[in-house]
Structure 1
Amino acid sequence: MTVHVFAGPSLSGSPVLGLAGVCHHPPIAHGDLYRLRPGPQDVVLVVDGLYQHTAPIRHKELVAAHAAGTTLVGAASIGALRAADLVGHGMTGMGTVFGWYRDGRLVSEADVALMHGDADVDYRAFTHALVSLVSVTDRLVAAGRLAEPDSAAVLAVAESVHFGLRTAAALLAAAENAGQAAAMRLVLEELRPDRLGDIKRIDAEAAVRALLAGQVPAAPADVVAVPDTSYAREWRLQHTPATADPAGPTERQVLAYAQLFLPDFPRRHTRYVLDRLTPEYPELLAAGVPPAWLDGLAVEELVGRGVLAPGEAERLDAAELATRVLVRTFRLRSGRLVYEHLPPELAAELPELAAGCTRLLELDRHAMAKNPFFHHGDLPVHLVDAAFAALWRTDEVRTHALDRGFRTFDEFREQARPFFVAARAAVALAAGAA
């Protein structure tokens, strides 16, 4: 049994991360479980997670892992919070912090939040979480070392300081103004690991040791099924590795590579759409008979919405016009996605597509490494548009992006940015060859 532990500041420098059977991962973020793809023999312990510069771990992602048979446990920080959220939905909690969220003593996500460093400083905490102070004051009061009014005053001071600013110095300064400097100093001293210690670390270490000892809490018997929504399907596409290599490109990246660089992808995408329509539509179009609903659509509105290029309606016959409108507006149920996974039509080419995608994404990483002022996220949109208009040799880049299966022009730009350098290089190579 492998215990996958997603932890940062709560277990910074902790010896439990080096125990046999522990696979340590950085603080969890949205997409990490899709990338990990844990199975029925795995246990996932969520301790710490990211939540500001990236999306936090989502509930449906956890539920999906549970549906795959993975044992999910949460403790100490965001893990305790998510476990309390998902009681009855396949995730169990361990420790004091989890119990406080489950029983309603804690209700805010900010109560476990703090600021911390990255991997280069072992995720060391820079501020104190409110829950850490709550635990120490509880234990000091129980031991008769801190009066209850002083405990309440110290916590009120801590709550008045934003979690991102809650350093020891800031807490002492705020406590000085409130006449609670001595009490706050005592509380901060007792947070040290050789004293009472931080409850987040205590909970996390206890959870790791318990899981390694086989003390895995049973998932509740009354697990409630959660619908597999279009958002969950989109997240899986975005984060699931396309091949067995977890460090390789995701399914969405490989699909974007195919959409952007395969010369015949518009034809492939048209076939993909027609194959997923009821039989009457392809039969009508093959016979040159446009569907009756086409007469009810105003060409001006289709042009205004970007479904047709100016003058395109006059250049196409009725059947081809209907095909273009169908292809560019196609959505899978429930009406949000064009693709929800790599289509089976690409399966035979997956090794080559994944390898090509990896090579082109490496060009982007190399460009950023060579030029610290370059990042594809900062590119003006007109440069992205121009690069792919040149690659595709079209003046109608907006509608051509829809013909390549992008849901919207904005989605095209989002997916195209990491491939901008590759597109420019391909255009330059083609011009040189000519």
Structure 2
Amino acid sequence: MTIHVFAGPSLSGSSVLELAGVCPHPPIAHGDLYRLRPGAGDAVLIVDGVYQHTAPVRHKEILDLYAAGVPLYGTASLGALRAAEHQGHGVTGLGTVFAWYRDGRLISDADVALTHGDAEVGFRAFTQAIVSILGVTDSLVAVGRLDPAEASKVVELARSLHFTTRTNANLLASAGKRGLAGPMRLVVDVLRGDRLSDVKRTDAEDAVRGLLAENAPAPPARDVEVPVTTWRKEWSLQHTPATADPEGPTRRQVLACAQLFLPDFPDRHTAHVLAHLRPEYPEVGGDTFLPAWLDALSPEELVRRGILAEGEPATLTKHDRAIRVLVRTFRRRSGRLVYDGIPPELIPDLAALTEQSTRLLRLSNQAVQLNPKFHPGDIPADVLDTTFAALWRTGELATHVLDRGFRSLEEFREQARPYFIAARAFVAMSERPAQAA
């Protein structure tokens, strides 16, 4: 059995991450559980997680993994918070911090929040969390070194500081202004250095050792049904690896590769929509797929809404115009996604597309390594648009991306950024013979 431990500052420098049977991961973020490939009998322990500069781990992705039969545990920090939120529904809580949330002593997400470094500095904490201060004041009061009233004032003062500014120095400076320098010095001295007295660290280490010794509480019965929502489908598509290699492209990236680089994808997409139109929308009648609501929209209105290009009303028959409208506005119920998975029509090409996606994404990674100042997210939208318009040889990018199955220009840009270097290379190669002539 392997324990997949998502941890950062709570276990910074801890030897428990080196124990046999432990597979350490960085603090958990949205999508990490979709990327995880646990083996039979493995368990997941969530300790720390990120939530400001990236989305936090979502409740439904936790439920998704639990419903698949993987035991999940939470402790110490974000793990304790998620465990309290999932009591009886997917996560087993461990430790003191979890008990504080469960019993109502803690109610705020911010009580476990702190700032910390990245992997290069071992996720070292830079500020103090409220739960860490509570743990120390409790222990000092228990041994008679701190008056209960002073302990409450120390915690109240700490709560008045935003977690990003709750450094030892700031805590001491603020305490000095309120006549709490002595009590705060006691607390800060305990929390310095190796943080062996930090309740987060204690909870996390106890949880790891308990799971390895198989003496942790049994997870609840697996009677959890995860609603198949649009967001669940989208998150799964975005983050699930296309192959057994968790470092390889995701299923969404492989689909995007097809949308961006297959010359015939607009035709494939049109066929896909027409094949799935009636199953999704049985009310669409007639062999010509001409729903009544189309008659209420004039060609000028369709142009204004960006569904038709400027010159299309004059060049398309009424039937062809209707087909274009249906293809460009098609959404899976409940109305957000065009694709909620890799379509069956692409399965025969999936291996080749995955290989191509891997190769093209590698170009972007190499560009970042060669130029640390380059990042796909910084590419201006107009540069991205111009490059792919040249690749597709279209003067109507806004409607062409709809023909390729993107729901909007914004979604196209999001999916196209990692492939920009490859697209620019293809455009350069296509222009080379003309320049030579």
Range into which the TM-score falls when normalised by the shorter chain: over 0.9
Please give the alpha-carbon distance, in whole angstroms, between the structure 1 residues aligned to 2:257 and 2:194: 53
Q: Which residue of 2 aligns with 1:113?
A: 113
Please give the alpha-carbon distance, in whole angstroms, between the structure 2 residues aligned to 1:327 and 1:184: 65
Please give the alpha-carbon distance, in whole angstroms, between the structure 1 residues aligned to 2:206 and 2:75: 9
Give the 3-state SS of the residue equivalent to 1:278 in structure 2: helix
Please give the alpha-carbon distance, in whole angstroms, between the structure 2 residues aligned to 1:360 and 1:189: 52
Once superposed, what is the RMSD of the aligned Cα atoms? 1.8
Deviation at 1:44, TM superposition (A): 0.2
Q: Which residue of 2 aligns with 1:57?
A: 57
Deviation at 1:38, TM superposition (A): 3.0
Q: Which residue of 1 aligns with 2:398?
A: 398
Q: Which residue of 2 aligns with 1:142?
A: 142
Contact residue 47 and residue 77 of structure 2 kept, 8 A: yes
Deviation at 1:217, TM superposition (A): 2.1
Give the 3-state SS of the residue equivalent to 1:332 in structure 2: coil
Q: Which residue of 2 aligns with 1:7?
A: 7
Contact residue 285 and residue 291 of structure 2 kept, 8 A: no
Q: Percent identity?
A: 63
Q: Which residue of 1 aligns with 2:359?
A: 359
Deviation at 1:376, TM superposition (A): 2.0
Q: Which residue of 2 aligns with 1:240?
A: 240
Please give the alpha-carbon distance, in whole angstroms, between the structure 2 residues aligned to 1:431 and 1:196: 63
With normalisation by structure 1, the TM-score equals 0.95
Q: Return 5+ residue gaps in structure 1 as ranges.
A: none
With normalisation by structure 2, the TM-score equals 0.95
My pick for the range that moved more, 68-77 or 380-389, is 380-389
Give the 3-state SS of the residue equivalent to 2:414 in structure 1: helix
Matches within 5 A, 1:180-259: 180-192=180-192, 197-221=197-221, 223-259=223-259
Q: Aligned pair in 2 of structure 1 residues 282, 364: CA closer, same or farther (>3 Å)?
A: farther
Deviation at 1:420, TM superposition (A): 1.5
Please give the alpha-carbon distance, in whole angstroms, between the structure 2 residues aligned to 1:305 and 1:143: 71
Deviations 1:80-106 (A, max 9, x none): 000000112111100000000111110
Give the 3-state SS of the residue equivalent to 2:277 in structure 1: coil
Deviations 1:24-56 (A, max 9, x none): 000000000000043552200000001111101
Matches within 5 A, 1:16-415: 16-38=16-38, 41-192=41-192, 197-221=197-221, 223-278=223-278, 284-285=287-288, 290-415=290-415
Contact residue 233 and residue 340 of structure 1 kept, 8 A: yes
My pick for the range that moved more, 180-189 or 389-398, is 180-189
Q: Return 5+ residue gaps in structure 2 as ranges.
A: none
Q: How many residues align?
A: 431
Deviation at 1:298, TM superposition (A): 2.0
What letter is aligned with 2:66?
A: H
Q: Which residue of 2 aligns with 1:422?
A: 422
Deviation at 1:216, TM superposition (A): 3.5
Please give the alpha-carbon distance, in whole angstroms, between the structure 2 residues aligned to 1:54 and 1:233: 19
Please give the alpha-carbon distance, in whole angstroms, between the structure 2 residues aligned to 1:399 and 1:219: 50
Deviation at 1:191, TM superposition (A): 2.5
Deviations 1:283-333 (A, max 9, x none): 623xxx744432222222211111100120221112211111111000111
Deviation at 1:226, TM superposition (A): 3.6
Please give the alpha-carbon distance, in whole angstroms, between the structure 1 residues aligned to 2:334 and 2:402: 19
What letter is aligned with 1:92?
A: T
Deviation at 1:378, TM superposition (A): 1.7
My pick for the range that moved more, 60-69 or 411-420, is 411-420
Deviation at 1:239, TM superposition (A): 0.3
Q: Aligned pair in 2 of structure 1 residues 114, 274: CA closer, same or farther (>3 Å)?
A: same
Q: Aligned pair in 2 of structure 1 residues 155, 311: CA closer, same or farther (>3 Å)?
A: same
Deviation at 1:282, TM superposition (A): 9.3
What letter is aligned with 1:339?
A: Y
